[in-house]
Amino acid sequence: MRLDLSLYLVTDPELCAERGLEDTVLAAMKGGVTLVQLRDKQADDAEMIPVARRLKAALAGSGVPLLINDRLEVALASGADGLHIGQDDGEVHEARAALGPEAILGLSVQTHDQLARVDTTRLDYLGLGPVFATPSKQDHAAPLGFDGLAALAGASPLPTVAIGGLKAEHAAAVQRAGVNGMAVISAICGTPDPQAAARAFPYFGQTG
């Protein structure tokens, strides 16, 4: 499926609980979300697989891909469109081998050393962050700020998406940093109107 990093919704089970995960995602999609990642740090694979399958069915025909955070087995069992992994979430080459060539595979990068080791032949995009400190990820790395983000984005051999503490009001500065899009949890999940929250973000343009 086509990769468009412009507005990347990462889900949070607690923040989405009141409205429900699928309703939140569908509303955000109507507001312009271009990519969705199912992220649940508490659920085990067996709990996550049916949720991922329902979300994949809800997104069917929309052209918006569903990626799974961390869990290769969930991505494979649910028919999701891809996987996002961090530096400690397994080997990129193993994930690519298991997912096949058509799947979307993303990797988190926080430093220039990590960037230098990026496997450009097997990855589709990089998540750069956190731009700001955020309560949505308790174990996040040191914040990059816009200057650190621009330095990483400028040196990246792959399309990039910024993440961490980002709101719609940051879009202009994020665009100036040279990334392909913004990834957000709390700016959309848990807001009273996810569609309007998504609509507040500008479109960054086609990735790649």
Ligand X SMILES: Cc1nc(C(=O)O)sc1CCOP(=O)(O)O
Ligand Y SMILES: Cc1ncc(COP(=O)(O)OP(=O)(O)O)c(N)n1
Task: Return the active site residues.
Answer: 39, 108, 137
Kindly tell me which of 89 and 193 has the beta carbon lying closer to ligand Y. 89
Candidate list 1, 43, 77, 89; residue touching Mg ion; CB under 5 A:
89
Closer Cβ to ligand Y, 129 or 165, answer by number = 129
- Does residue number 86 form part of the binding site for Mg ion (CB under 5 A)? yes
Residue window 172-191: x/- pattern of binding to ligand X, with contact defined by CB under 6 A: ------------xxxx----
Report the relative pairing of strands 66-69 and 82-85 from DSSP bridges: parallel
Query: Does residue 56 have a known ligand-binding role?
Result: no
- Identity of the residue, 114 or 193, whose beta carbon is nearer to ligand Y in the bound complex: 114
If binding is defined by CB under 6 A, does position 107 make contact with ligand X? Answer: no
Residues that bind ligand Y (CB under 6 A): 8, 10, 37, 39, 69-70, 84, 86, 89, 106, 108, 127, 129, 137, 161, 163, 183
Residues that bind ligand X (CB under 6 A): 10, 108, 127, 129-130, 134, 136-137, 140, 163-166, 184-187
